[in-house]
Amino acid sequence: MELVGTGGRRPVRPGSWRDAQLDVTSPSALRDLFDRERPRVVFYCAYDPFNRLATVDAAGRAATLAALLRARFVFFSTDLVFDGARGRYAESTDVAPVLPYGALKAEAEALVRSEHPGVLIIRTSLLVGESGIYLRPAFECDALRRGLPITLYTDEWRSPTYVDDVAKAAWGLVQSQASGTFHVAGPDRLSRFELGRLLCTLFRFDPALLREGTRPAERPRDTSLDSGRAASLLGWAPRSLVKLAESAPAAAPAYV
């Protein structure tokens, strides 16, 4: 099996694959890539919260091209397709985004479903860990890495998830021939502030930089996800960040 990673403007994480630079907003570049590589499985992770072309239109075009090749198509979506009124959302819950980014992802979900009959949609939450040359979640890690104080919400809850666990689940779902929508998220319901404290433990940031704050009224309160369906099919679940932090070695290297 040969793997190809498309990095756009960002470096692709080092691994056993070839790099292929791609502007997903260019229909011709996307078509040329599919014609050249003839993929059997496509994982569409690209997004730009301020760019409908990358988040919606290009996803639809990629799904169409994958369908023409009879390739599997995996689309990554977000917990922000929900309104945050109650949390622990199941896949069967109707989407009701309140943020523009969530609305784009909900629109993209509908589009890729219409363009590819066997699409696999994976909804996840805030990703934690190494992604290319970056640490995620970027908002928290970028500030803490530079030693800057950061205000994090105590009243917004998510299901933070290790990025490698999402990758593992995505491949497992592909191998199982699954289609439809699956939630793949960590088991911990954490506020942004609680997550910040865990990031300080996991990556050896300074917890004194953390400040408590409240979310703006327009942000969803609780978009935590129920991932029981995927866990049942795969026979495992993403790791708990709380437990990982509890077992983190005290002398772990700092990210600076």
Domain range holding 97? 4-246
The tally of domains found in the chain comes to 1
| SS3 labels along the chain | CCCEECCCCCCCCCCCCEECCCCCCCHHHHHHHHHHHCCCEEEECCCCCCCHHHHHHHHHHHHHHHHHCCCEEEEEEEHHHCCCCCCCECCCCCCCCCCHHHHHHHHHHHHHHHHCCCCEEEEECCEEEEECCEEECHHHHHHHHCCCCEEEECCCEECCEEHHHHHHHHHHHHHCCCCEEEECCCCCCEEHHHHHHHHHHHHCCCHHHEEEECCCCCCCCECCECCHHHHHHHCCCCCCHHHHHHCCCCCCCCCC
211-253 pLDDT, tens digit per residue, is 999 999 999 999 999 999 999 999 999 999 999 999 987 645 4
Residue 57 belongs to a domain: yes
Span 186-215, average pLDDT:
97
Give the per-residue pLDDT at 130.
Answer: 85
CB-based contacts of 17, cutoff 8 Å, min separation 6: 2, 3, 4, 5
Give the per-residue pLDDT at 7.
Answer: 73
Q: What CATH number has the domain bearing residue 53? A: 3.40.50.720
Give the per-residue pLDDT at 256.
Answer: 47
Residue 192 belongs to a domain: yes
68-122 pLDDT, tens digit per residue, is 999 999 999 999 999 999 999 999 999 999 999 999 999 999 999 999 999 999 9
Residue 174 belongs to a domain: yes
Residue 128 belongs to a domain: yes
Asked whether the predicted pLDDT for residue 1 surpasses 80, the reply is: no
Asked whether the predicted pLDDT for residue 19 surpasses 90, the reply is: no
Span 24-52, average pLDDT:
95
Asked whether the predicted pLDDT for residue 254 surpasses 70, the reply is: no
133-184 pLDDT, tens digit per residue, is 679 999 999 999 999 999 999 999 999 999 999 999 999 999 999 999 999 9
Residue 147 belongs to a domain: yes
